[in-house]
Amino acid sequence: MVTAGVRKRAMVPALVESLIPIVAIVMTFGCPVLIVATFKFFKLKERELQIDAELRRTSGAALEQRVQRLESIILALDADLRAKLAAAAPESVQAALPPRIDD
């Protein structure tokens, strides 16, 4: 009479021998596909980084233009405000104002 333990040990070598061709076929056709997929993935990531860098360059220039525009508006408002205060306020208030800074 054959026990279950003996039967399991006898099936393991036969199972390994039947899996060898299957694993070989999967590795033969799977590795090139995996390599191509890896190259495509990293090429896509590189393209995304290039687009992101270009976007940052253009947005940085646009941000710089916005900052310059805001600075010119603030300086224009500062001059208008000082002119209105000078016309409406007495000399003691004008002396209390901080000095105007021109760039």
Which of 12 and 42 is assigned the larger pLDDT?
Answer: 42
pTM of the entire structure? 0.45
Residues 6+ apart with CB under 8 A from 63: none
On whether the CB atoms of residues 63 and 75 are closer than 8 A, the answer is no
Q: What is the pLDDT of residues 55-86, one digit of tens each?
A: 888 888 888 888 889 888 888 887 777 777 67
- Domain assignments of the chain as residue spans, ordered by start: 4-89
Distance (Å, whole) CA 59 – CA 31: 42
pLDDT-derived band at 7, boundaries 50, 70, 90: low
Distance (Å, whole) CA 88 – CA 86: 6
Tokens, residue 48:
């995304």
Residues 88-98, mean pLDDT to the nearest whole number: 60
